[in-house]
Structure 1
Amino acid sequence: MSKSKRLMELMMTVNRKRKFTVKELADEFGVSPRTILRDLQELGELGVPLYSEVGPHGGYQVLNERVLPPIAFTEEEAVSIFFASHALRHYEFLPFETEASSALGKFYHYMSGDVRDRIDQMKNRVDFVTPSRQSAFPFLGLLLEGAIQQQVLRINYESRRGVSTCRQIQPVGIFASGGLWYCPAYCFERRDFRLFRCDRIVAAEPAEGFGVPEPLDLRNVHLGNWEEHLGRKPSQVNCVVELSRLGVEACEGLLIRRSLKLNVREDGSGRLEGPIPASELPYLTSFFIGLGQDATALEPPELVDSIRRKLTELLEKYS
């Protein structure tokens, strides 16, 4: 077996074993322990995070930051992966911000000169714009890890009115929308699922000690179905809004609840219809006012009245 092939197989073997001795590897690859020691030293120089322990129960082990074996990409695949990661640069906070930046640098560094030139030309011609926000999201990594590990977290959460409360939650996951990050989670204080805005989480840590509830089995609850597991269904009202062609375009770009259906006619105009929680009426009031003549709210009466009151307040403000 050639040295290059042996090094590649050795890299995959140590990633799989995690803990091993030089003798075990020497027997497996049919070479001397001295050769394995030289190979392990080369793997360390290539970036494989190896840690050695002395003593009768010692040996080598791979740290948590395991290194993947070499993967061959076509030029188009490499460019597409580069721009998938490049698109995240507009998010100032990511759950894997440092790792994404490091991976992007490695991809760019090891590409051939002509491919780098092509990427340099494309950088200013392809973009994925995300609204810029002043909010900070320092706990995304902890929330994501809590969702993966089925872990209970203790958070301090600030409401829209600025009131801070201590909660024990078990995250379902995190998602970004409109430049903001959100975390659906089971709230042990409310005994139900809630949607938390991550910038309103002012402190977070793994919940430990007396009084910490047992984690729930949420392996089958994810971002696509968590709303179906709500125990207390919020009071709902039926919403009907007529939309012009421009109004349809605005609503298509909005993260609308799955319960709302947008029916588009042949001329491009449409009708938005479906049940919504009554708690969303203030948000929809401001949203439809922003559409001006391109949206006409027909139902529910509470939404129509809310729009009238808001417009009256605006007229008084600017009169």
Structure 2
Amino acid sequence: MSKSKRLLELMMTVNRKRKFTVKELALEFGVSTRTMLRDLQELSELGVPLYSEVGPHGGYQVLRERILPPIAFSEEEAVAMFFAVYALRHYSSLPFESESASALDKFYLHMSGDVRDRIDQMKNRVDFVTPTRQQESPFLSILLEAAIHQKVLLIEHESRGDTAGRKIQPIGIYANNGLWFCPAYCFLRKDFRVFRCDRIHSAEYDADTEPIDLRHVHLGNKESVFQKEKESVQLYVELSRSGVQMYEAVLWLSSHLHIREDGTGWLEGPIPQSDLAFYARFFIGLGNEATVKHPPELVGYMKRLFAEIMSKYE
């Protein structure tokens, strides 16, 4: 086996093992311990984060920030990966902000000159427009880690101008219209809530509260889980073609949308009764493009809002 091939396989092996001895690797690769020591030294110089421990139970370990083995991308794949990360630049906050910037720099700097020229031309020809928000969300990483590892967080959250402490167990984070949101179980309300991440002013792990088992809850099914936890009413709304297009711009209740062949459509399905005021404001915003048929409580909310609006212009 050539040295270059051995180093490549060695990089993949140490990433897989995480902890090992020089003797174990020397036997596995059929080389002397002296040769293996030199190979490990070269891997360390290439950037593989190796850490050695002395003693009878010592050996080598790969630190948490592991270096992945080289991956061969085609030119088109590399350009696609570049723009996938480049599209995130509109967000003022990201869960992996420094890592995203570093990955983008590596992709760009290690491409050939003609590919870089092509990317420079494409930067002004393609974009993924997201509203640029001034609000920052500095706690995205800890919210995501808590969701992955089923941890409870103590947060300071601002709502309607007041800031209060809450104990929450996140199920994930998602971005919508340039803002970040965190669906979570709220131990104060004993119910699921969605928190705007830019309104979270502090977040730390809470070791005193026992987490609940939310492994079955994730962003893909949160809609149905949230509704099961609340008293719901049946929604039915007729949408014009423009109304369908306007509604498709929002992410929530996508499973309720049905589209006819002529482009018109309707919304049908359960919604939490506690959210009727929110839906009243939303459907009023759609104007003549939406006609709410059911539930009557929602229609009543909308009539009262219309009356309040009209009174301002009398």
**TM-score, with structure 1 as normaliser:** 0.88
Q: Which amino acid aligns with 1:291?
A: L
Change (3 A) 1:278 1:7: same
Map 1:168-247 → 2, pairs under 5 A: 168-208=167-207, 212-230=208-226, 233-247=229-243
SS in 2 for 1:240: strand
CA distance in 2, matches of 1:277, 1:225: 15
CA distance in 2, matches of 1:194, 1:256: 14
Q: Which amino acid aligns with 1:43?
A: L
Identity %: 66
Q: Which of 271, 279, 282 is 1:287 aligned to?
A: 282
**Equivalence for 1:254:** 250
Task: Give 1:316 shift.
Answer: 4.3
Task: Give 1:234 shift.
Answer: 2.7
Change (3 A) 1:318 1:264: same
**Equivalence for 1:90:** 90
**Equivalence for 1:162:** 161
SS in 2 for 1:73: coil
CA distance in 1, matches of 2:268, 2:217: 27
**Equivalence for 1:116:** 116
CA distance in 2, matches of 1:192, 1:235: 12
CA distance in 2, matches of 1:95, 1:77: 24
Q: Which amino acid aligns with 1:262?
A: H
Q: Which amino acid aligns with 1:183?
A: C
SS in 1 for 2:60: strand
Cα root mean square deviation, aligned: 2.4
Deviations 1:211-255 (A, max 9, x none): x23333332222122344459743333333333221221012222
**Equivalence for 2:40:** 40
Task: Give 1:25 shift.
Answer: 2.4
Is 2:74 the partner of 1:74?
Answer: yes
Deviations 1:151-181 (A, max 9, x none): 222222222x233332322221111122222
Deviations 1:116-160 (A, max 9, x none): 22222222222111122232211111111111112222222222x
- 8 Å CA contact 2:22–2:37 kept in 1: the answer is yes
Change (3 A) 1:145 1:81: same
Unaligned runs of 5+ in 2: none
Task: Give 1:31 shift.
Answer: 2.4
**Equivalence for 1:29:** 29
**TM-score, with structure 2 as normaliser:** 0.89
Worse overlay, 51-60 or 64-73: 51-60
Deviations 1:55-111 (A, max 9, x none): 444332211000111111222222222222222111221111111111111111222
- 8 Å CA contact 1:259–1:276 kept in 2: the answer is no
- Give the aligned length: 314
- 8 Å CA contact 2:191–2:229 kept in 1: the answer is no
